[in-house]
Structure 1
Amino acid sequence: MDATRNEALEAWMDEHGYSSNSLAEAVNRALEQLTGRTGGLDGSSIRAWKAGRVRWPKSATRRALEDVTGLPASALGFVPRGRTPSAPAATQEDPDMKRRTLVGGIAVAAAAAAAAPGTTAPRRIGKSDVDRLQQRFAEIIASDHRHGGQLGIEQRAAALADEALNLQNAGSATQRVRSNLYACAAAFRSSAMWAAIDGRRYADAKAHMREAQALAEMSGDQAIKFRIWSHAGAMYRHMGRPADAFAANDVARNLHITRRDPMFASLGLARQAAIHGAAQDRTGTRRTLDQAGEAMHRANPDDYRPVWLLAFYDQAELHSLALSAHLALGDYPTAEYHAHRCLATLRPYMRRSQAITTTRLAHAQLAQGDLEAATDTAMRVPVDAATRHARVSRMLQEFGAALRVTAPRSSIVQTWNEHTREAWKTAT
């Protein structure tokens, strides 16, 4: 008779992030603690368990496996010798439903084992915990692209970072799961950092940055390290400290991930161009923008990338950073060109970016003397962004001040003043 696959064991391994090799190593270590001798399991041994070729491991191996998982062997799909496994139902079963049933059965067995007298099985922290946190991270990213800079986003992200860290002490986990938890905590802290930067709360941003950097080091995750240092470069650029901005962005650009994936290299170069613009370096701006475009062209669109990068970095963002650079340089026609290109390709859900780009476009038009077009553009910025997003609010205040200096007695100024009064009235 053909062996019946041990689907319960497979489900447990998937749930807790174990490969065949990593589970073999964990059981070997547990065997050594039990017997004083190193176990001889390898990946093929675990694959034999999963395939059902080994239905009941030897007693010491079973005990070691139970120590690793916190569950009795029977809850992991193993059947004692001489006992026949239950016959499968004849009806067709949905695979996802089947897997949930298996995982649910394991959870029930774990609860029963924990409740039994004399047992102290710890909670296992696994892949599902990491998946749940990553889903919450995706929600934070989406909220940032809609609203940006809000204190509420910063606070939620910081609270979720603490939640990810608390899981480290809530039970046992594989090293892979623990690294993923540190990466999740670092990702949330980096989002809290970015919300504080976007809201011009720089002291808070630096505090989040220090925490995020430490967590990223513990995770070993290159992508999240890149995000944190790249954000630091943007922070110092907004603070008017280009030397510090270059230094921070160089840390991001020198990470191995930028050599492995041209898309990371492209983002690092595009942000470097924006810093060159702030530093009034025209040659550096042009050179790095060209290099950023070339790197983006080389990137394989099918490569795996983290959700935070996929959510925003594309040709529109490249134009946005070029707009920032040329606006800082005083090259207003080129800035206007990049603003129009950005708005034409910007993804609809990126409302925060749309508001920032529209405001910068208004500045570029005003600097070229096109007062009417500039004012019309500035009036298109949504009221919620104009009144609640710190960066947009400040740029619009600067726009109004420049407009009044340029044409103090113009009816356009009166139109702008009435618009801003109505906007604030609506907001309150």
Structure 2
Amino acid sequence: MDAIRNTVLEAWMTEHGYSSNSLADAVNGAVADLTGRIGGLDGSSVRAWKAGRVTWPKSATRKALEAVTGLPAVALGFVPRGRSSSLTPAPPRQKEPDMKRRTLVGGIAAAAAAAAAAPGSASPRRIGMSDVNRLNKRFAEIIASDHRHGGQLRIEAQAAALAEEALNLQNAGSATQRVRNSLYASGAAFRSSAMWAAIDGRRYDVAKAHMREAQALAEMSGDQAIKFRIWSHAGTMYRHMGRPADAIAANDVARNLHITRRDPLFASLGLARQGAIHGTAQHRTETRRAFEQAQDAMQRANPADHRPVWLLAFYDQAELDSLALSAYLALGDYPTAEYHAHRCLASRRPHMVRSRAITTTRLAHALLAQGAADAATAAAIKVPADAATRHARVSRMLQEFGAALRATAPHSTAARNWTDHTTTWRTAA
């Protein structure tokens, strides 16, 4: 029997800008993250998927592909071995030279339809707010896991899978418009968490793919809070990528949403993140002004107002000080950076394990830049080994700290202590 072309995978690749070779490279990298050994795919492997000659990739490859795309394999048009496809291949579309007819929202709908049509999916039923509430409980678990571990591929994959679960419910039965909007909002929330995990793990290409999916779902939900979260994350992503102009533009989208006029706490977060971006761009006056305005907005916020769990879980005075620490460190104003680091650590909530590690590492940098090598090393040694070796951002900052310490005080006791300390990480790994 002739192979049935995988038009769903082709559509996903077109909308996300992947060629056969670039998708093979991305999956090979994800295989390395999962197994420790880089995958052996090339462009011909992906072309075999698209042509339908391979309908169910091997386990490690399949998991890596799901990590890259954020979608389960069945939602990408693949069919488990031993099962016949329940999907009818789409007829070829006529191409238009001036515009793409397919949109991101259309791609999401196609993926959801594929997953809903997959063998074993539930029969149609009434979808209600109890289904939404069940998803929201899982969202709280994702938030808690992120604050403890951060940046991990498994958090990203779990969040992406839950986003797909929320989307598949749209096709699993009848629902009111309120429920449908809430499901889209849940899907956007999960997808934005996958985006954040990828940002935190410095997997920026994957983060951008999650961002596009999240933005489309957020538009369909009409939820201002989740729109704010996604665009604010985008601003942070571009800041970490060293693209301050794009970061300011993305963060401005978040700050111009009317939710920032209704709720000063949203306004405060938008301003604080804007201040961090200005610090990266070396805008001293704008940095100071943004943090003054962020502090003022936070003081005007009513603690009793209802707010989403993701905001309440992390944004407080400690986070404002953390963003100020990042900004003033980038500006080279090390005493001010140190001041905000101590304030942040004094009020950090216990569940913010990942954030405490980042703050402590930045404090070490601020101290070393002021010539306090012993104090800086003592601070850096306090970073837990798990964060130091497994969190991409923390690992990179500590490597930079070690290089700076060896450059400024190569024969000091502090440098020897730091070398001995990092050796224990390698032997324990």
Does the pair score TM above 0.5?
yes
Partner SS for 1:303: coil
The offset of 1:423, in angstroms, is 1.6
Q: Does 1:375 align with 2:399?
A: no
Q: Which residue of 2 aligns with 1:309?
A: 311
TM-score, length of structure 2 as denominator length: 0.71
Provide Cα deviations, 1:224-256, integer angstroms capped at 9, x if missing partner.
000000000000000000000000000000001
Q: Tell me, in whole angstroms, the C-alpha distance in 2 between the residues paired with 1:350 and 1:129.
A: 29
In structure 2, the residue matched to 1:346 is 348
Specify the code of the residue in structure 2 equivalent to 1:271. Answer: R
What letter is aligned with 2:266?
F
Q: Distance in 2 between matches of 1:344 and 1:410?
A: 29
Quick one: which amino acid aligns to residue 379 of structure 1? I
Aligned residues: 307
CA distance in 1, matches of 2:307, 2:415: 47
Q: Among 219, 231, 240, which residue is 2:242 paired with? A: 240
Select the residue among 217, 223, 233 that pairs with 2:219. Answer: 217
Instruction: Decide which moves more: 121-130 or 299-308.
Output: 121-130
**1:82-137 Cα deviation digits (max 9, x unpaired):** xxxxxxxxxxxxxxxxxxxxxxxxxxxxxxxxxxxxxxx94100011000000000
User: Which string of whole-angstrom CA distances, capped at 9 and with x for unpartnered residues, describes residues 10-39 of structure 1?
Assistant: xxxxxxxxxxxxxxxxxxxxxxxxxxxxxx
- Name the CA distance, whole Å, in 2 between partners of 1:375 and 1:148: 24
Q: Paired residue for 2:406?
A: 404
Aligned equivalent of 2:189: 187
Match among 318, 328, 331 for residue 329 of structure 1: 331
Is residue 206 of structure 1 aligned with residue 208 of structure 2?
A: yes
CA distance in 2, matches of 1:161, 1:348: 28
1:124 to 123, 126, 149: 126
Q: Distance in 1 between matches of 2:415 and 2:319?
A: 32
Alignment of 1:421 with 2:423, yes or no, is yes
Which of 154, 161, 176 is 2:178 aligned to? 176
Q: Letter of the aligned partner of 1:367 in structure 2?
A: A
Aligned partners of 1:425, 1:125: CA distance in 2, in Å? 52
Secondary structure of the 1:304 match is coil
Cα distance in structure 1, aligned partners of 2:416 and 2:293: 44
1:305 corresponds to which letter in structure 2?
R
Amino acid of the structure 1 residue aligned with 2:194: A
Q: Is 2:151 the counterpart of 1:149?
A: yes
- Which residue identity does 1:384 align to in structure 2? D
Q: Where does residue 32 of structure 1 map in the other structure? A: none
- Once the two structures are TM-superposed, the CA of residue 425 in structure 1 deviates from its matched residue by 2.0
Deviation at 1:411, TM superposition (A): 2.6
Instruction: Give the match's secondary structure for 1:280.
Output: coil
Where does residue 87 of structure 2 map in the other structure?
none
Distance between the aligned counterparts of 2:410 and 2:124, measured in 1? Answer: 72
The equivalent residue for 2:368 is 366
Q: Secondary structure at the match of 1:209?
A: helix
**Cα distance between partner residues in 1 of 2:285 and 2:240:** 21
1:319 to 318, 321, 329: 321
* SS of structure 1 residue aligned to 2:150: coil
Secondary structure of the structure 2 residue equivalent to 1:387? helix
Give the partner amino acid of 1:344. A
Q: Corresponding residue for 2:89?
A: none
Q: Distance in 1 between matches of 2:203 and 2:154?
A: 13
Give distance in 2, aligned partners of 1:411 and 1:373. 11
Aligned partner of 2:96 in structure 1 is none
Partner of residue 92, structure 1:
none
Percent identical among aligned pairs is 80
Once the two structures are TM-superposed, the CA of residue 413 in structure 1 deviates from its matched residue by 1.2
TM (normalized to structure 1)?
0.71
In structure 2, the residue matched to 1:293 is 295
* Cα distance in 2 between the residues matched to 1:122 and 1:383: 49
Larger radius of gyration: 1
Q: 1 CA distance for matches of 2:427 and 2:197?
A: 26
Which digits, 9 at most, give the CA deviation of each residue in 1:207-238, with x for residues without a partner?
00000000000000000000000000000000
Aligned to 1:133: 135
Letter in 2 for 1:417: T
RMSD across aligned C-alpha pairs, in angstroms?
A: 0.8
Separation in 1 of the partners of 2:128 and 2:275? 41
1:84 is matched with which residue?
A: none
Q: Distance in 2 between matches of 1:424 and 1:346?
A: 29
State the alpha-carbon separation in 1 of the partners of residues 249 and 205 from structure 2: 19
Give secondary structure in 1 for the equivalent of 2:302: coil
2:175 counterpart SS class: coil
Residue 88 of structure 1 corresponds to: none
Q: Which residue of 1 aligns with 2:68?
A: none
In 2, Cα distance between equivalents of 1:244 and 1:387: 30
Large movers: runs of 4+ above 4 Å: none
User: What CA distance in whole angstroms lies between the structure 1 residues aligned with 2:421 and 2:298?
Assistant: 40
Q: State the 1:412 CA deviation.
A: 1.8
Partner of 2:93: none
Give the whole-Å Cα distance in 2 for the aligned partners of 1:379 and 1:122. Answer: 56
In the TM superposition, residue 424 of structure 1 has moved relative to its aligned partner by: 2.6
Q: Structure 1 regions of 5+ residues with no counterpart?
A: 1-120
Q: Deviations over 1:122-153 (max 9, x none)?
A: 41000110000000000000000000000000
Question: In structure 1, what is the equivalent of residue 388 of structure 2?
Answer: 386
How far apart are the structure 1 equivalents of 2:405 and 2:231? 36
1:256-290 Cα distance to aligned partner (Å, 9 max, x none): 10000000000000000000100001100110100
| Correspondence for 1:256 | 258
- Counterparts of 2:165 and 2:234 in 1: how far apart (Å)? 24
Quote the Cα distance in structure 2 between the aligned partners of 1:210 and 1:183: 14
